[in-house]
Amino acid sequence: MRKWKLGLGVAMLALSVSMPAFAARTDLVLGVILEPPHLDPTAGAAAAIDEIVYANVFEGLTRIGENGDVLPDLAERWTISDDGKVYTFKLRTGVKFHDGTSFDADDVKFSLDRARAPDSTNAQKGLFAEIDTVNVVDPATVKITLKEPQGAFLYNLGWGDAVIVAPESAATNKEKPIGTGPFRFDSWARGSSIKLVKSPDYWGEPVALERAEFRIVPDAAAAVPAILSGDIQAYPFFPSDGVSQIEGDSRFKVVVGSTEGETILAMNNRKPPFDKLKVRQAIAYAIDRQSVIDGASSGLGTPIGSHFAPHNPAYLDLTGVYPHDPEKARALIKEAGAEGLKLTIKLPPTQYARLGGEIIASELREVGLDPELVPIEWAEWLSQVFTDKNFDATIVSHTEPNDIDIYARKDYYFGYDNPAFDQIIADLNTENDEAKRKELYGEAQKILAQDVPAAYLFELPKVGVWDAKLEGLWQNAPIQANDLTKVRWTD
């Protein structure tokens, strides 16, 4: 009898160990719209690269969290000298790259020096421009000296473009990415899917997923049946016009969050008559933000009155500076002598630009302007608008995080030039005090809201759709990434 009981006990124990009561699923198929050109985040601007590898395959000294906060990653902690120029990072030990080589201070020096080298093809080389020297103190300590203090330095190190790579694998990361993250690259069937598997010797908290597959579904119309049929269980950046077909279905969650994408009607400030404040004000008054949001983002965007993300603690709501007022717009146009002004609005091939363009054009016609819409491809947008500055106006979303400083850049495409604004950005670069930084950001926002170098439309929403039993995916997109480290099935 006792033997029998013992036997049963052992059997039950064995059962409970081998099968933790109804083992939850450990695989996940995610849908992405764009296929990345390659998988090296330090050699390309495509957000599609970060969507696969950020936080999953590659890690940096710091990283950006779901709400845009800076978190320690491969650097466990750091100290900053009083003059704000010397950063000393204490690195995690016992970290291995996926090919088995060890991570240490030499890899950090290699990665940062490579990113800022003369022949570097890093798309955000500017992030590293203030670095003067990178010194290896010991295998677990790195000292970075800046030329000038830089308030956003820790944040900058959290970008995908600043991840740490190994000298042994840097050259082949495009095809076979080797990082220190919780997932290893497994395979890539071009045009079809990219697979990651759990890394067995990850230094941090182990991830719940064993396998993750990113499937490329380029068409919004195909994304809906892919989710409904269960072929794809999560679509973190879902085309917003397909949401209505899924919203009512309890098997799925539709999660709307924010992004760093300020969607603007940028004007060519160096070209008459857009160099006149009155003309730009008139255009701002003519636009009804809500109608643009309804038409171009299924009503999900957040109206903005300046170039700043609403989820940022330093955000000011300035949408009231130029409310929708066609009467005022007409009066200003008359004062400026711009009645019947012909202008072209160049539209890149995104939904928000093409649909938003139609609405804005009709609103501008309403107040006596004569807009013409010119749909163009991204390649043309980059060469005609961005590089050659050959445009009157364009609709585009600036998705880089915290990028209000673009208005201080010389020769940037919209040609805004305001020494007072430039001074604020210069002050921000050297200011480390959070309260003062917030104040400066506020001033910068107010100047842009008044000056309207661009008409500020809305913050691009992030619409995520996934299986209701899935948790841990990001609601917001402070950077365009799909961090899978906390993702698990709940049943």
Q: Which spans of this chain sit near another protein (rule: CB under 8 A)? A: 35, 37-38, 44-46, 118-126, 174-175, 189-193, 215-219, 221-222, 225-226, 228-231, 349, 377-380, 382-384, 386-387, 398, 400
Q: How far apart are CA 237 and CA 216, in angstroms?
A: 12
Give percent helix, percent strand, percent coil of the chain, each to the nearest 5.
30, 25, 45
Comparison of 118 and 340: residue with beta carbon closer to another protein:
118
CB 383 to another protein: min, Å: 5
Contact call for residues 404 and 422 (beta carbons, < 8 A): no
Find how far residue 152's CA is from the centre of its chain.
16
Cα 25 to Cα 28, 56, 198: the distances in Å are: 8, 19, 14
d(Cα 37, Cα 81) in Å, to the nearest integer?
A: 40
Q: How far is the CB of 331 from another protein (least distance, A)?
A: 36
**Shortest gap between Cβ of 286 and another protein (angstroms)?**
27
CA atoms 189, 194, 197, 203: torsion sign: positive
Smallest distance from another protein to CB 481, Å: 16
Residue 175 or 372 with smaller CB distance to another protein: 175
C-alpha count within 13 angstroms, C-beta hemisphere, residue 239: 21
Nearer to another protein, 93 or 383 (CB): 383
Cβ proximity to another protein: between 7 and 225 the closer is: 225
CA quadruple 445, 449, 453, 456: dihedral sign: positive
**Identity of the residue, 47 or 300, whose beta carbon is nearer to another protein in the bound complex:** 47
| Dihedral angle computed from the Cα positions of residues 329, 276, 448 and 260, in that order, rounded to the nearest 10 degrees | 80
User: For the chain, what is the radius of gyration of the CA atoms?
Assistant: 25
Least distance between another protein and beta carbon 423 (Å): 22
At its nearest, how many Å lie between another protein and the CB of residue 192? 4
Q: What is the DSSP letter of 475?
A: S
Minimum CB distance to another protein smaller for 16 or for 383: 383
Smallest separation, CB 73 to another protein (Å): 22
Task: State the nearest-atom distance from the C-beta of 364 to another protein, in Å.
Answer: 26
Q: Which of 76, 378 has the CB closer to another protein?
A: 378
3-state secondary structure of 344: strand
Give 243's contacts (C-beta < 8 A, 6+ positions apart): 254, 298, 300, 463, 465
Taking the complex as a whole, the smallest distance from the CB of residue 240 to another protein amounts, in Å, to: 18
Q: To 5 degrees, how large is the angle CA 150–CA 154–CA 155?
A: 100
Closer to another protein by CB, 168 or 380: give it. Answer: 380
Least distance CB 387 / another protein (angstroms): 6
Q: Smaller CB distance to another protein: residue 18 or 229?
A: 229
DSSP 338: -
Residue 326, preceding bond cis, omega within 30 degrees?
A: no
**DSSP H/E element including 210:** none
Q: Which is nearer to another protein, 241 or 400 (CB)?
A: 400
